[in-house]
Structure 1
Amino acid sequence: MRSFFPFLGLALCLEPALAARPAPSQNMPLSMRPVFDTLVLPDAPNIWRSGSGRPGSAYWQNRADYRIESRIDTTSHVLTGTETITYTNNSPDALDVLWLQLDQNLYRKDSRSWVAFPDWHPASSDGYAIERVTLETNGVEKSVPFRISDTRMQVTLPAPLAASGHALKLHVTWHHTIPGEWGGRTAVTPVKDGAIFEVAQWYPRLCVYDDLRGWDTLPYLGQEFYLEYGSIDYAVTVPWNFTVVGSGALTNPQDVLTTTERARLADAAKSDKPVLIRTPQDVLDPNSHLAHSGEKTWRFHMENTRDVAFAASPAFVWDAAKLDLPALPVAKGQKPQPRLAMSVYPREGAGPQAWDRSTEYVKHAIEYFSSQWYPYPWPNAVNLGGHGAGMEYPGIVFDGWQDKNDVLFWITTHELGHGWFPMIVGSNERRHAFMDEGFNTFIDAYASQHFNHGEYAPKKDAEFAPETGDPAKDIVPVLTASDAPTLMMPAELVPEKYRHKVTYFKGAYGLMLLREQILGPDRFDAAFRAYIRAWAFKHPTPSDFFRFMSSEAGEDLTWFWRGWYFENWWPQYRLDGFSQSNAKPGEESTISIGVRNEGKLMMPVTLRITWQDGSRTERVIPTEAWMLHDRLNLTFPDHGAVKAIALDPDQGLPIPDRNGLTITPAVTNHP
């Protein structure tokens, strides 16, 4: 797609049609009012969310901080845990109950998800066993009543938690069985040197209480997350021969790593090339571990995060390289920690075009997204080669150990891109999936162009341009399908048939159209970066995004939001008549070209005249040209014989029917 700037000066001569107008098609009503009329966005501006799309003057957000102690019984696959949640109520409301998410209950055969989507569940478990819930007051814990409803738990407080910054401490003790292979979100994956435990959505987590709905308690049916931010300290106890990697920074390396492993990590912190921390030979050598029996506890810390996940296995090959990013702030008297790109994978995943290159891909993704959009805020970024469904968590992503070549690059880059959407910009994935999947697919498509002089460009996978690799062509069947959902359709109502095509691909391609065809890269990039800064570690809605981009870019984009997000509209133009005039003495000879609009998505469209001498004349017809008309006449100074006339000559627009977009007049037409 070629970048161009459509809002240039355009002299349009609106003349009577050269011939009788045919009746408008079903997609082209005589009145443009349905296209250009006022769009009432779902969430009205108020003191919490401003009309500019920024957080309002009274914007608030609650906070959840966690301390978690956990242990995996690697024989029974039971994960036990105790957690202390410090919950801060910054809302203007006193809260008489708390709601927590119990995502592991998804695996119960009586869960709503299991009944609603039985094909998604090859593995099952009994879900959470909540052993104890207590509230701590002045250092004393007292049991509080709770009730479980599917994947949620309501805790009744003995007295309301006061508003405006008051906090409480809640303790929860629990256990659950880690299911077998399923979806990459929580799994036990067998490989030849042991099992890989991929542990995510593993501890009870606070639901979000916000200004839009109060408690947002959508049941977990598979559509990912909406979580509060905070700091998380967590510990994982595993057998002596296991290696653990996870979100955040390892805080006790001296307790779990050998002198050799720590030295190799120090070397990696100075190296642009991956350094092996645990080699394939180490995997087979019991003496490569710090201990030779019993268990070890690995401790991690992560600031300003929605979640944490980890992976544990005796089978990990582990490599790392430095991230060229500024050092993160540290407390006075402490040394800055190295920032590392890491990969862990089984020996059978190694190979020169396989996981040997994973850390190279991790390093590029984190550094590119940081320079292009917003600085990466956490110490490490980890790519796990395991079950392979492709799943993202802050600081760690779960990919497939069998991936290689372009597939490994694309999945690694895509999942790490989720660090920005929705891990930094904390949108509600359970309701508005396009705000994470679509936005992320958009940024990782450009990362494919950037990496190693376009080694894996253009991005061609199930998430972007899945059929031909040409987004303008691949989107047409989605736009014209009568049963295709819109981007604003609630996430759970998007059928699997359209999940990637609409949520990922249409969501990404819409931003590409906005960047390449409507605003231009300079205006779009500045506005999009400002949006990320404004909503970093906060909770924007689609309405906030639409308002922000219109305000910051300085363009009324109502027509685009309506046509691309609330509807499945498309552009459709035709050339409709061409003539060259015989000028009177002293007057300039002109050429007149008719253009008809038959669509509802009024994309700026380029009209190009190619003259017989090889020169070109171009004008961009802006969206506003169609506010009161469905046909225009454009006049140009005559430059001699015309070789060709074309609308959208570079085929950058998703126009379903490209007939009538070009005219090749005979040379004899010129007087």
Structure 2
Amino acid sequence: MKLKIFILSFSFIILSNSINAQSDLHIPREIQSAYEKQTRSKDGKPGEKYWQNEVNYKIDVAVTPSTRLINGKEVVEFTNNSPDDLSEVVIRLYYDVFKKGNARSIQVNEKDIGEGTIIKSVIVEGVKYDLSDRKQIRRIGTNMSILLAEPLKTGKKITLQFEWQQKVPLTLRRTGAVDETSFFIGYWYPQVAVYDDIFGWDKIDYTFTTEFYNNLSSFDVNITAPDNFLVWATGTLQNSADILPTSIHKKYLKAQSSKDVINIVTSEELKNLKLKSGTWNYKATEVTDFAFAMSDHYLWDAAVEKVKENNVLINTAFPVQEIEKYKEVTHIQQKIIKHFTYDVPGVPYPYPQFTTFIGLKNRGSGMEFPMMANNGGPGKPLTIHELFHSYFPMYVRINERRFAWMDEGWADFIEILTMHKFFNDKKEDHSFYSKFKLGVQRKIGSISSLPAVTSTVYTTDNYGYHAYSLPSFTYALLYQHLGEKKFLKCLKTYIERWAKKSPTPYDFFYTFENVSGEDLSFFWNSWYFKMGYPDLKIESFNEGNLIIKRIGERPVPISLKVAYDSINKKSLQNYSSILGADIWKNNNRTLTIKIPNFKKIESIVINSDFPDFNESDNFYPSLSNQYESLNLDNSILGIYPIEEFPMELLLSKKEGVLMFELLNTSIKAYLQPLDKYSFVSIDGTISLKILKEKYNKHKVELNLSLYDRTFTGIQK
């Protein structure tokens, strides 16, 4: 039967043995060197001698939709604030990922493969460089090194000029052509790479897996498009009166102080749209990148959300034919920015505007840029996720190329926490922590489950797990251990300390210890630095004494769900509770919990909502015993092609317990029986019903509550 869980407080008797605390963190030589140079400090703060370089961009770019050609001219002022004299300046040419012979982590449209970025000229301090002279210009992968005639001295500036051409790619990966006349354009201009105090020049190639690590920069960009195209971009529009027709311009100005959504460009206005000019001027200061989007058939909605004393302009651009689907996105963004500012993480949204461009149609994924996102749908989780990237890696300039878990993991965690606290409009049968379990459960104990601190450079074949699932779960463990108030204080301080700067993993570790006042080495070492997996089991239950054994090396909380005899009308209420992971802090291996009224207990489940290497031993009575009394109909086993998607569901038995798996996905789980034809996953996020179908076949109804989707399939 399905358990209805109530949260009650009750007393535990905990018996354990303790040993000495774990050692300090391993600190690699690059980080040790930063401490010696005083660019970083061991309390997690920027050091007294912290520095970072500055870059100013003045760009003129024209996009021709019919040919997808991007033609650009750029003037760059680069200031060397480092203590080193620089003999080269490294320039990123992201579109060289499409250059014939270059490495790529995904398959791309064959029509995109060619010359990559066509550099027409490079001028350094007024001197034109010979593009074919390797003593002046070297291009390797997606980087171009400009070898300077004289080193750029510390504290000095240099002016670089570029003229280039490339095509908007048909491959829609973060950026590209959404359709024939709708483009989201990012990674598009010659960009000065980061030179920092840890690694020097960042020369990691862009292969589609790596994302951001950029300088703090300013931009002044003129974007020229046909005069029937709307353009949205990073920064604020400087020449709206010179571009927008009078009636549209009035609405644009009204939107800048309106809490109500203003339809700046309607479907009627799109039919015969003709702008005063086709050149849009956007400016942005102290941002890490610049992106823009354009279309001749997108609607434009906008409103403001007040952040402290400032009005943030919120825009939504979406296809005219999708008006019913996307009309609420602006409202959703308003609510998200409000909660980010005042609740989680409690830091004011740091920019003057944000634009959601619905560009990855029907894909459900998204991509963040400063003040912009390229989203594949109107979903709240996706909108939250991409908007939170305004904090990481934009406001806090994470080196995502090496440590993607320092921003993607946070975006995943905040997405789930924000949905749980502020957008949870229905009662759920699973806990907050179970929402992190699925992404971690599939990998724990495998050879690819490396320590969380592992650099992204070494996890490209396992990027989703190490950048998203694993770190978001560890942040949830921190949240549970510290408690919400202390956790949010740590996170808020971390953001404020490192705003517009670039923290390392150690700056994160030590800030949380410094602010919380706790030694968290037991947690960092087990989850971030060592191999291992979480695994608990019910060792025994006798006379009310529940003995739990810790088998795995990685500590997790203990969630306990107890169901009392439901047949007895005077039975006690069922209850649920969680003990924090710090119960294992001293590396004890067993724990005894005294369960009251043990004679009336019907069942006990531990850690249904936390990842566990072997879930089948977390039950009393055991899952196999529950199935023995059920007399499972083995005819339900087999493969069920899913009707709604091109995938298959497999039902099988393992050690007498029913297991389900969506083949070629990460989704699989043991199933707990509710009755002979109804089952639920151990964490409660998946439910499955078996129905009789004609010709003696069976039909499944599968509900994935985390994704709010129901699927059906008929047995092969």
Q: Which residue does 2:204 correspond to in 1? A: 218
Check if 1:175 corresponds to 2:165.
yes
Q: Which residue does 2:122 correspond to in 1? A: 133
Distance 2:552 2:187 in 1: 45
Offset of residue 188 of structure 1: 5.4
C-alpha spacing 1:151/1:603, structure 2 compared with 1 (3 Å): same
Which residues in structure 2 correspond to 1:284-299 (within 5 Å)?
A: 284-286=271-273, 289-291=274-276, 296-299=278-281
Q: Which residue does 1:596 correspond to in 2? A: 549
Which residues in structure 2 correspond to 1:425-464 (within 5 Å)?
A: 425-454=396-425
Which runs of 5 or more structure 1 residues have no equivalent in the other structure? 16-30, 329-337, 581-590, 665-671
Q: Which residue does 2:590 correspond to in 1? A: 631
Counterpart of 1:418 (choices 389, 404, 408) is 389
- Kept in 2: contact 1:32–1:627 (CA 8 A): yes
- Kept in 2: contact 1:596–1:632 (CA 8 A): yes
1:36 match: secondary structure: coil
- Kept in 1: contact 2:558–2:606 (CA 8 A): no
- Which residue identity is paired with 1:415? E
- Which residue identity is paired with 1:263? K
Identity of aligned residues (%): 26
Which residues in structure 2 correspond to 1:146-295 (within 5 Å)?
A: 146-163=137-154, 165-187=155-177, 189-190=179-180, 195-222=181-208, 223-286=210-273, 289-291=274-276
- Which residue identity is paired with 1:277? I
- Kept in 1: contact 2:231–2:292 (CA 8 A): yes
- Which residue identity is paired with 1:312? M
- Which residue identity is paired with 1:50? S
Distance 2:171 2:239 in 1: 30
- Kept in 2: contact 1:472–1:651 (CA 8 A): no
- Kept in 2: contact 1:605–1:648 (CA 8 A): no
**TM-score with structure 2 length normalisation?**
0.75
- Kept in 2: contact 1:448–1:457 (CA 8 A): no
Check if 1:103 corresponds to 2:94.
yes
Offset of residue 364 of structure 1: 2.3
Check if 1:529 corresponds to 2:488.
no
C-alpha spacing 1:244/1:579, structure 2 compared with 1 (3 Å): closer
- Kept in 1: contact 2:6–2:573 (CA 8 A): no
Q: Which residue does 2:527 correspond to in 1? A: 564
C-alpha spacing 1:95/1:646, structure 2 compared with 1 (3 Å): farther
C-alpha spacing 1:643/1:487, structure 2 compared with 1 (3 Å): same
C-alpha spacing 1:85/1:627, structure 2 compared with 1 (3 Å): same
Distance 2:584 2:100 in 1: 57
- Kept in 1: contact 2:560–2:607 (CA 8 A): no
Q: Which residue does 1:324 correspond to in 2? A: 306
Q: Which residue does 1:490 correspond to in 2? A: 455
1:526 match: secondary structure: helix
Offset of residue 55 of structure 1: 1.1
Between the two proteins, the alignment pairs up a number of residues equal to 596
- Which residue identity is paired with 1:526? K
Distance 2:410 2:168 in 1: 31
Offset of residue 320 of structure 1: 0.5
Offset of residue 572 of structure 1: 2.6
- Which residue identity is paired with 1:208? V
Distance 1:349 1:256 in 2: 25
C-alpha spacing 1:625/1:417, structure 2 compared with 1 (3 Å): closer
Which residues in structure 2 correspond to 1:602-617 (within 5 Å)?
A: 602-605=555-558
- Kept in 2: contact 1:315–1:346 (CA 8 A): yes
The answer to which of 207-216 and 361-370 deviates more is 361-370
Counterpart of 1:398 (choices 374, 377, 400) is 374
- Which residue identity is paired with 1:166? K
- Kept in 2: contact 1:185–1:198 (CA 8 A): yes
Q: Which residue does 1:504 correspond to in 2? A: 468
- Which residue identity is paired with 2:50? Y
Offset of residue 218 of structure 1: 0.6
Distance 1:661 1:430 in 2: 39
Distance 1:339 1:273 in 2: 13
Q: Which residue does 2:291 correspond to in 1? A: 309
Which residues in structure 2 correspond to 1:346-361 (within 5 Å)?
A: 346-351=319-324, 354-361=325-332
- Kept in 1: contact 2:187–2:291 (CA 8 A): yes
C-alpha spacing 1:225/1:633, structure 2 compared with 1 (3 Å): closer
- Kept in 2: contact 1:573–1:661 (CA 8 A): yes
Q: Which residue does 1:39 correspond to in 2? A: 25
Distance 2:540 2:179 in 1: 65
- Kept in 2: contact 1:609–1:642 (CA 8 A): no
C-alpha spacing 1:3/1:475, structure 2 compared with 1 (3 Å): farther
- Kept in 2: contact 1:181–1:188 (CA 8 A): no
1:266 match: secondary structure: helix
Distance 2:212 2:445 in 1: 31
- Kept in 1: contact 2:54–2:80 (CA 8 A): yes
**What's the CA shift string for 1:503-538, capped at 9, x where partnerless?**
21222122112102x111111111011111111111
Check if 1:385 corresponds to 2:358.
yes
- Kept in 2: contact 1:340–1:380 (CA 8 A): yes
C-alpha spacing 1:258/1:515, structure 2 compared with 1 (3 Å): same
- Kept in 2: contact 1:126–1:177 (CA 8 A): no
The answer to which of 39-48 and 117-126 deviates more is 117-126
Distance 2:194 2:477 in 1: 33
**What's the CA shift string for 1:127-156, capped at 9, x where partnerless?**
2122222233xxx55547322222111112
**TM-score with structure 1 length normalisation?**
0.80
- Which residue identity is paired with 2:494? Y
- Which residue identity is paired with 1:126? E
1:61 match: secondary structure: coil
- Which residue identity is paired with 1:94? D
Offset of residue 457 of structure 1: 8.5
Q: Which residue does 1:26 correspond to in 2? A: none
2:67 match: secondary structure: coil
**What's the CA shift string for 1:596-621, capped at 9, x where partnerless?**
32121123436789998669898947
- Kept in 1: contact 2:367–2:386 (CA 8 A): yes
Q: Which residue does 2:336 correspond to in 1? A: 365
1:105 match: secondary structure: helix
1:127 match: secondary structure: coil
- Kept in 2: contact 1:323–1:363 (CA 8 A): yes
Distance 1:52 1:225 in 2: 26
**What's the CA shift string for 1:269-312, capped at 9, x where partnerless?**
333332111101111114xx333xxx521000111101010012
Offset of residue 644 of structure 1: 4.5
Q: Which residue does 2:688 correspond to in 1? A: none
Check if 1:472 corresponds to 2:437.
yes
2:532 match: secondary structure: coil
Offset of residue 263 of structure 1: 1.1
Offset of residue 480 of structure 1: 2.7
- Kept in 2: contact 1:125–1:177 (CA 8 A): no
Check if 1:50 corresponds to 2:41.
yes
Distance 2:419 2:260 in 1: 20
Tell me: higher relative CO, structure 1 or 2? Use CA pairs within 8 A at least 6 residues apart: 1
1:300 match: secondary structure: strand
RMSD: 3.6
Distance 2:609 2:101 in 1: 49
The answer to which of 45-54 and 560-569 deviates more is 560-569
Counterpart of 2:446 (choices 468, 481, 488) is 481
- Which residue identity is paired with 2:550? N
- Which residue identity is paired with 1:487? A
Which runs of 5 or more structure 2 residues have no equivalent in the other structure? 131-135, 565-570, 622-716
1:324 match: secondary structure: strand
